[in-house]
Every structure is written in C-alpha cells, then in structure tokens.
Chains A and B, each alone.
Chain A
C-alpha cells in the first residue's frame, strides 16, 4: 500500500481541536448540572401524590429512552421552528442533551431515593423537621451517595453522545474534526486524533467526577 499516515497538519490544528474540546466540555457541564437538578425534581414528582404528575414524568422518560438522541436533536432543531420556536444551535444542543440526560438520571435518582431506608425519613420527621428539609438534608444525600457511580457513567455516556450535535453545526469537537478533514484531506488521521482526544476526555472526566465525589460525599453533603 502506498498510503503513509501524515500528521504534519496537526501543528496548525491544535488550537481548533482545543476550542472544539472546550465547547464539548461546556455542553456537557451545562447539561449535566441542569439534568441532575431536573432529575431530582423529576424523581420526586414521580413519587408524588398527584397521578397526573407521575404519569407525565413516566411518559416523558419512556419517550426519551426509546428514541435515538439524534432524532430528538433533529426534532428540536428542525421541527420546533414550525411551531414558532426557533433555537440557536448551541441552545438546541443543550436543550436536547439536558432532556435526554434527565430521562436517564430521573430513573437513577429514583432508584437511589428508593434505596434509602424508610426509617431515616420517619426518624427525621419524628425529630420535628419539615418534610422539605427531611428530603434535602436526610434522604437526598444518602440517595446521591448510592447512585453516584451510575450518575458518573451517565455523564460520560452523554459526553460521548454529544458528538452528534455536530450535525446541527454546533462547533464542538466532532464539528471541528469534520472541518479539519475537509481542509487537510486527511480524514483518517484527523478522526484518529480526535477519537484519542475523546478517549482522554472520557477517562479524565470519569477520574475527576470520582475524585470530586469522594471529597464531597465522604463526609456527606450538607
């Protein structure tokens, strides 16, 4: 074979790859935080007394979990404008990622809430704490501790899945790779480098989250 790998283009591309990676990190940071907050609300609503609320959340979770992220993204970005809702690509990407992630993490957080023994709640209520305080100070920290590893995995999975938002021209890592390979005609080398960047980012993100979780959860979140 007469093909030799050529990485000569890499010098000029480093800053582009870095800015793409920064965008990917920004997207996942925003949607992870929003997703976790929303899924705590979702999981609580899933266990509320109002049947409508329970059904609504359950339907939303099933709808998102049984359709591809790419289709959700296209629906939000291309479909919603016909209802008069026109979104900037970055906003559409964050919205799609948050909605997608919330569906998965609602189930995870819910499992965590169910894992906290009932006695904990009863004991706290018996001490005269208000129900909201009991949830935030007693039940939630214990639940988060149980589900932290699963949440970590879900965030990493979402980060990898965010590669498809390049399809609506959000200038993240994959988009920059597409642009680079169109310019250098070195598609394989470009995607190889970018794949390695993704690999490093997923390993790094996982380590960071685990280290952060150990510091934050060892003494309990208060």
Chain B
C-alpha cells in the first residue's frame, strides 16, 4: 500500500483544484456569451422570443443541475456526439449559468428608467446601439454584485460534475479518501479549498453591494 502523508493529500487536492478553477472560468465565460443571447431574447419586442427565453430560464431554474448534467451526458451520445465528462460539464454549466445570468441582467435592464431608451432614440440611435451604448452599461453596473454572487454559486456547482466523472476537486478527493481512509481530513481540506476560492468573491460582492447602495 502506498503511504500518503498529509502533504501528499493537500498537494493532490490543490492540483485537482486547478480543474475546478478552469471549469468555473470556462463556464462563466460561456455562460456570459449565451446569457447575453438569452437576455436579448428575454427583452425583445417580439412576444415569442420573450416567451422562449422565459421558458428557457424557467427550465434551468426549475430542475436540478445534476439532472441537466445527466441529460447532456447520456443524451448527446444519442444524437451522435462523442461526449466526455469535460464536454458535458462545460456544456451543462454554461447553459445553466446562461439562464441565471440572463435573469440577473434582465433585472438590471428593467431597472434602467425608460427615459434612457427614449433619450437614445431621440439621439437617432437604433435599437442595438441603444442597448450597447446606453442600456447595457447601466444594467451591468447595477447588477455587478449579484453577478459576482452567481460566480460563487457557479464555483460551488462545479462540485456536481464529479458525479458524471469529471476529475475535479471532489472526484479527486473521493479517490484520495478511498486510498487513505481519512475522510475527515480529506473533506475538511476540500471544504477549505472551496472556501478559499469563494470567500474573497463573496466579500467582493458585498463590497460592490454596499457601493451600489451609496449611489
């Protein structure tokens, strides 16, 4: 049997945490892009587009992320895609993040006074330019705190990808636990690593929130 020192455990966990960070970053970037598309649909003037976005958001917010991951992991191969845990994890978290981010930003867009749209059109800007130059910058400024807050939620959600077999922090910790039989230490350290990742962001979100209240 291989002996694991405490340092071996910590080192392996930290190495695995890189995948948690990478997955969070990729899913957040992907979620931002897809989320913007959903946001455009959600605030569109056409009813069916709004309706579609509403159902999309409702679907992802009304079902467990674990089920979404399972459906992608088992469903995409049926459509003929070769799929690995990494692909399913990125895709699942991206789609889920897009729904949550679109909903957060929609709140921001609605909080911008209607007069801002009118002012934009009186300057001769067309719809997309009004959005890009006037509405969205204000909407993002208002929603900075909940967006960072969601990033924390996303980082925690990556833990679920261990269940579909993606080798991130939790899956690695399960393997280490099976080898060392020291669940208290192993999961304690895993919790600490997540805490170290999330706590600064939570603090930052709090600062942004207080700053927004002052204005």
Q: Is the CB of A68 within 8 A of B183?
A: no
Q: Is B191 an interface residue (CB 8 A)?
A: yes
Residue on A with the closest CB to B196? A66
Which residues of the partner chain B approach A166 to less than 8 Å between Cβ atoms?
66
Report which of B62, B78, B158, B183 forms a contact with A74, defined as CB distance below 8 A: B183
Q: Is the CB of A71 within 8 A of B170?
A: yes
Residue on A with the closest CB to B66? A163
Interchain CA distance A135-B107 in the complex, whole Å: 34
Q: Is B128 an interface residue (CB 8 A)?
A: no
- Contacts of A82-140 to chain B: CB distance below 8 A: 82-83
Q: Is B160 an interface residue (CB 8 A)?
A: yes
Residue on A with the closest CB to B59? A199
Q: Is A72 an interface residue (CB 8 A)?
A: yes
Residue on A with the closest CB to B80? A1
Q: Is B50 an interface residue (CB 8 A)?
A: no
Q: Is the CB of A68 within 8 A of B188?
A: no
A188 to chain B, nearest CB (A): 5
Interchain CA distance A128-B203 in the complex, whole Å: 41
Q: Is the CB of A79 within 8 A of B195?
A: no
Which residues of the partner chain B approach A74 to less than 8 Å between Cβ atoms?
170, 173-174, 183, 187, 190
- Contacts of B153-183 to chain A: CB distance below 8 A: 156-160, 162-163, 170, 173-174, 177, 182-183
Q: Is the CB of A71 within 8 A of B199?
A: no
Among the stretches B2-10, B67-75, B86-94, the one at the interface with A is B67-75
Q: Is A18 an interface residue (CB 8 A)?
A: no
B210 to chain A, nearest CB (A): 14
Interchain CA distance A167-B70 in the complex, whole Å: 14
Q: Is the CB of A71 within 8 A of B183?
A: no
Q: Is the CB of A70 within 8 A of B160?
A: yes
Which residues of the partner chain B approach A150 to less than 8 Å between Cβ atoms?
none
Report which of A68, A83, A198 forms a contact with B64, defined as CB distance below 8 A: A198
Q: Is B198 an interface residue (CB 8 A)?
A: yes
- Contacts of A57-84 to chain B: CB distance below 8 A: 62-63, 65-72, 74-75, 78-83
Report which of B66, B78, B184 forms a contact with A79, defined as CB distance below 8 A: B184
Which residues of the partner chain A approach B183 to less than 8 Å between Cβ atoms?
74-75, 78-79, 81-82
Report which of B71, B157, B177 forms a contact with A192, defined as CB distance below 8 A: B71
Q: Is the CB of A1 within 8 A of B194?
A: no
Which residues of the partner chain A approach B71 to less than 8 Å between Cβ atoms?
188, 191-192, 195
Q: Is the CB of B170 within 8 A of A70?
A: yes
Interchain CA distance A202-B59 in the complex, whole Å: 10
Which residues of the partner chain A approach B74 to less than 8 Å between Cβ atoms?
181, 187-188, 191
Q: Is the CB of B70 within 8 A of A187?
A: yes
Q: Is B63 an interface residue (CB 8 A)?
A: yes
B49 to chain A, nearest CB (A): 22
Q: Is the CB of A198 within 8 A of B170?
A: no
Which residues of the partner chain A approach B80 to less than 8 Å between Cβ atoms?
1
Known contacts A71-B159, A78-B177, A191-B71; is-contact A66 B66 (Cβ 8 Å): no
B111 to chain A, nearest CB (A): 18
Report which of B66, B68, B156 forms a contact with A67, defined as CB distance below 8 A: B156
Q: Is the CB of A71 within 8 A of B66?
A: no
Q: Is the CB of A66 within 8 A of B199?
A: yes
Known contacts A66-B195, A167-B163; is-contact A71 B63 (Cβ 8 Å): no
Which residues of the partner chain B approach A194 to less than 8 Å between Cβ atoms?
67
Residue on B with the closest CB to A198? B63
Q: List 12 A-B contacts (CB under 8 A).
A: A62-B199, A66-B156, A70-B159, A70-B162, A71-B170, A71-B190, A174-B66, A188-B74, A191-B71, A192-B75, A194-B67, A199-B59
